[in-house]
A and B are shown apart, each in its own frame.
Chain A
Amino acid sequence: MYVYDKVDQKIIDERVAQYRDQTARYLAGELSEEQFLPLRLQNGLYIQRLAPMLRIAVPYGLLNTRQVRKLAWLSREYDKGYVHISTRQNVQMNWPQLPEVPDILAELAAVEMHAVQTSGNCIRNTTTDQFAGVAPDELTDPRPYCELIRQWSTFHPEFAFLPRKFKIAVCGSESDRAAIYAHDIGLELVRNDKGEIGLKVLAGGGLGRTPVIGSVICDWLAPRHMLTYLEAILRVYNQHGRRDNKYKARIKILVRAMGVDAFRAAVEKEWAAIKDGPSTLTENALAHAASFFTDPPYETLDGAAANRELADLCSEDAIFSNWVERNTREHRVDGYRSVTVSLKATGFPPGDITAEQLEQLADLADEFSFGEIRTTHQQNLVLADVRSADLHSLWQRLQPLGLATANIGYLTDMICCPGGDYCALANAKSIPVAEAIQARFDDMDYVYDLGPIDVNISGCMNACGHHHIGHIGILGVDKKGQEFYQVCLGGSQAKDASIGKILGPSFKQEDMPDVMEKILDTFVSLRAEEESFLDTYRRVGIDPFKERVYAEAD
């Protein structure tokens, strides 16, 4: 993983000092509320319903165990002893005190962490595949590109006051685990006809009030041009993106208004002026970035033997077998598997993890996975490099921590924003809905039988829970001051990305488990053999679901 040098450290330390001064001036009344707002936002600090919320950056989801232990310590010292993993792979503290935030940032800086640009109208944390570097279907590792983008976008002087927030995702594998089609800019590493690796550039994707799938604006871009090309896109957006209406300010609206071809032409024009300039990446720069993402010291193992042994263990223990099947996946290297640690146990807010769990998990990562932990945009954690032979002991140690729920990719592994329990922008609560659904579907055999289903819940149109791209999406809406929930079906975040379709009129919170049950019953009755929910939906359309859900509700 990337390691700071003196310059990185200096920049982050200077930021802490700058923010300390800004906080002091705000508390002394020298900075107005309005002026302090974007400054604190660009340092990840929101003022929420109950308290401030601090969003700590986890660049492209990578953490070492020293950082994890620091997060645990901070959550005890400055918060209530737990943190939340966000859908942008970041970590959120829900109860810090505003005057103490500079101290928290100083503590973070000591372990090469920060909260820079985790909020506000600027370029946000770049996200990628949580299995980057270990996935068997990977063309090339996206993380060096992410790191180069991180450095380029950190305190970018021209793009700190954009019309709206700006999110970039990078994917380097066959299946898209980074939802690149739902980002302001999505970058996919691809080969051209000559077999050279380059970037396919998508722009104008996004969720929120007007969900749009990104459009391809460049089929193949040589990696050395990545930063100048990004700069050209941002420059067009900064100058021409709408600033009069915050709901029309994202780049997706600009791309749509201009038309993809005109937008591409505008980008090419800006690009022509800066192409091959100093921001063109050098061989050295690319190699330097790549040098941080080399293999850990893997052992040479007999893959076939390891699989046999694992299969034997699984056949002896059905519960372990379930966990291996749902929560571990194939690794590029023989004898290893990647483990997803579920933060979706029934009865706990999705994505929350306590200080105790963090510390214990850090110990396990040191012991079993080269001291590294990854966050996922599905709000889980990953130990990417575990020997198959260690899975059973790891699983036994995860169980008492409540971290062995075997549901990754299944119904109860819901993506869920903090919603009305914490978030000042919410129309409705989201956590209780997730919990009620988890409680209703507590029969894991039934859940496994349903096959993989993405259920995504957002508490408002801002769509932090990515409800549009869930196979089943749930959105909190406000109906005359009452909390209601709209359901959409058929969204997908994969390369066949699609935006879910609204089922019909919204529902009361207490009806949501019943509604879910009807949707799932309909699926089960129409499903052909082992068909997945999404395939069935795509085959039969929304009508059968509509009929069933609303017929009985009337």
Chain B
Amino acid sequence: MPKLIKNGTIIGDNWLPADDTLEQPASNQIHTLSQWQALPEKSGSAVQLEPGDGVEPLLEHLTDIAVVAVNFPGFMDGRGFSYARELRERGYRGEIRATGHFIRDQLTYLSRVGCDAFQFADETLLEPALASLQDFSEYYQAAIDQPQPLFRRRA
């Protein structure tokens, strides 16, 4: 079974990765956005956002979706950071997993914007990456993990 980091620990993953060549993705498969849009029933579904997709298409179904995979084809493309945060701000409570080629040094930022799962292409990176979740213990600005900015928390 493939593995990922979920809520700070390494666990097995039941979802099959997105595959845009499939006409009929399995029910436990992450759908590409267009596959997902064609799904008649969105309840319990999983959908992957690519840079450029935006969160707009998902907004109507935020209570139905089980997993949003935010894909990073390259780690320098930061659009996914905004996607994750916007989804959370609009009330999405399911899993947001970062997938693709992000790096462990981005884990603080990713978890701050609302990602709670991290799936590396190379699983040997999972164990050492856990440490990067602890890089910082304080933050200035409001984000998903800490909705109050420091200026509201300073005495």
Binding site for B on A (CB under 8 A): 5, 7, 10-11, 14-15, 17-18, 22, 31, 35, 38-39, 121, 148, 151-152, 154-162, 227, 235, 238-239, 243, 273-274, 277-279, 281-282, 284-285, 288
CB-CB under 8 A from B143, the residues of chain A are 157-158
Q: A35 and B103 in contact (CB under 8 A), knowing A5-B154, A160-B78?
A: yes
- Tell me which residues across on chain B come within 8 A of A22, comparing CB atoms: 105
- Among B54, B83, B90, B135, which residue has the most Cβ atoms of chain A within 10 A? B135
From known contacts A121-B76, A160-B78, infer whether A285 and B151 are also in contact, taking CB-CB under 8 Å. Answer: yes
B113, B142, B147: most-surrounded residue (chain A CB, <10 A): B142
Q: Is the CB of B136 within 8 A of A18?
A: yes
Report B-chain residues with C-beta under 8 Å of the C-beta of A235: 82, 86
Q: List 5 A-B contacts (CB under 8 A).
A: A7-B154, A152-B141, A155-B139, A157-B108, A243-B79
Decide: A238 and B81 in contact? CB cutoff 8 A. Answer: yes
Is B97 at the interface (CB under 8 A from chain A)? no
Select from chain B the residue with minimum beta-carbon distance to A148: B151
Residues of A contacting B142 in the complex (Cβ-Cβ under 8 angstroms): 277-279
Closest chain B residue to A163, Cβ basis: B78
Which residues on B sit within 8 Å (CB–CB) of A238? 78-79, 81-82
Number of A-B contacts (CB under 8 A): 111
Q: Which of B85, B138, B149 has the most CB of A within 10 A?
A: B149
B51 / chain A contacts, CB cutoff of 8 Å: 243
Q: Do the beta carbons of B89 and A274 come within 8 Å of each other? A: yes
Residue of B nearest to A42 (CB): B105
Is A151 within 8 A of B151, CB to CB? Answer: yes
Residues of A within 8 A of B150 (CB): 7, 151
Determine how close the nearest CB of chain A comes to the CB of B137; give it in whole angstroms: 7
With a cutoff of 8 Å between Cβ atoms, the chain B residues found around residue A39 in the complex are: 105
- What CA separation (Å) do A60 and B154 show in the bound complex? 23
Return the CB mask of B122-155 against A: 1 if under 8 Å, else 0.
Answer: 0000000000000111111111000111111010
In the complex the two chains form, what is the Cα distance from A282 to B154 in whole Å? Answer: 12
- Give the nearest-CB partner of A238 in chain B: B82
Scan B86-115; emit 1 where CB is below 8 A from any A CB, else 0. Answer: 100110000000000001011011101100
Q: List chain A residues, Cβ under 8 A from B135.
A: 14, 17-18
Q: B76 is contacted by which of A158, A161, A239, A284 (Cβ under 8 Å)?
A: A161
In the bound complex, residues from chain A placing their C-beta under 8 Å from that of B140 are 11, 151-152, 154-155
Cα distance A238–B90 in the bound complex, in angstroms: 18
Residues of chain B whose beta carbon lies under 8 Å from any beta carbon of chain A? 51, 54, 75-79, 81-83, 85-86, 89-90, 103, 105-106, 108-110, 112-113, 135-143, 147-152, 154
Specify the chain B residue showing the minimal Cβ separation from A162: B78
Q: Are B139 and A278 neighbours in the complex by a CB distance under 8 Å?
A: no
Q: Which residue of A lies closest to B85 (CB)?
A: A158
With most chain A CB atoms within 10 A of its CB, the pick from B90, B141, B142, B152 is B141
Q: Separation in Å of the A329 CB from the closest CB of chain B?
A: 34
Query: Contacts of B108 on A, CB cut-off 8 Å?
Result: 155, 157
Chain B interface mostly helix, strand, loop or mixed? loop
**Closest CB-CB distance, A7 to chain B, in whole Å?**
5
Q: Give which listed residue, B81, B83, B149, contacts A278 with CB less than 8 A.
A: B149
Q: Which of B54, B82, B136 contacts A155 (CB 8 A)?
A: B136
Residues of A within 8 A of B138 (CB): 7, 10-11, 14
* Neighbouring B residues of A121 by C-beta, 8 Å: 76, 78
Nearest A residue to B77 via CB reads: A243
Measured between alpha carbons, how far is A157 from B149 in the docked complex, in Å? 13
Taking a contact as CB atoms under 8 Å apart, the answer to whether A11 and B105 are in contact is no
Please state if B78 and A161 are interface contacts (CB–CB under 8 Å): yes
Is B137 a contact of A10 with CB atoms below 8 Å? yes
For the complex, what is the distance from the CA of A284 to the CA of B82, rounded to whole Å?
A: 29
Q: A282 contacts which of B78, B86, B141, B151 (Cβ < 8 Å)?
A: B151
Query: B residues within 8 A CB of A10?
Result: 137-138
A277 to B144 Cα, complex, angstroms: 12
Shortest beta-carbon distance, A24 to chain B, in Å? 12
CA gap between A158 and B86 in the complex, in Å: 10
Inter-chain contact B154/A38, CB cutoff 8 Å: no
Determine the residue in chain B with the shortest Cβ distance to A228: B142
Contact: A278 with B152, CB < 8 Å? yes
A15 to B103, CA, bound (A): 17
B81: which A residues are within 8 A, CB to CB?
A: 157-161, 238
Asked if A282 and B152 make an inter-chain contact with CB atoms under 8 angstroms apart, the answer reads yes
Chain A residues lying within 8 Å of B113, measured Cβ to Cβ, are: 157-158
In whole angstroms, how far apart are the Cα atoms of A355 and B6 in the complex? 51
Name the A residues within 8 Å of B86 (CB-CB). Answer: 235
Distance, CA A45 to CA B106, complexed state (A): 18
Instruction: Determine the chain A residues whose CB is within 8 A of the CB of B89 once the complex forms.
Output: 273-274
Apart from A159-B78, A239-B82, A277-B142, list 18 A-B contacts with CB within 8 A: A11-B136, A14-B136, A17-B135, A35-B105, A151-B140, A151-B151, A152-B149, A155-B109, A158-B143, A160-B106, A161-B76, A238-B82, A239-B79, A278-B142, A278-B149, A278-B152, A285-B152, A288-B154
* Cβ-defined partner of A14 (8 Å) among B75, B79, B82, B137: B137
A154, A155, A227, A273: which has the most chain B beta carbons within 10 Å? A155
- B80's nearest neighbour on chain A, judged by CB, is A161
B103: which A residues are within 8 A, CB to CB? 31, 35
Residues of B within 8 A of A278 (CB): 142, 147-149, 152
Residue in A17, A158, A288 whose CB lies within 8 Å of B82? A158
Contact across chains for B136 and A161 when beta carbons are under 8 A apart: no
CA distance A5 to B113 in the complex (A): 25
* Chain B min CB distance to A345 (Å): 40
Q: Complex formed: what's the CA distance from A121 to B77 in Å?
A: 10
Q: Which residue of A lies closest to B140 (CB)?
A: A151
Question: What 7 pairs between A and B have smallest CB-CB spacing?
Answer: A161-B78, A157-B112, A285-B151, A157-B109, A151-B140, A18-B135, A158-B81
A224 to B150, CA, bound (A): 15
| Residue of chain A at shortest CB distance from B148 | A278
Closest partner residue, chain A, to B153 (CB atom): A7
Q: A227–B136 Cα gap in the complex (Å)?
A: 22
What separation, in Å, do the CA atoms of A536 and B95 have in the docked complex?
64
Cβ–Cβ contact B79 & A35, under 8 A: no
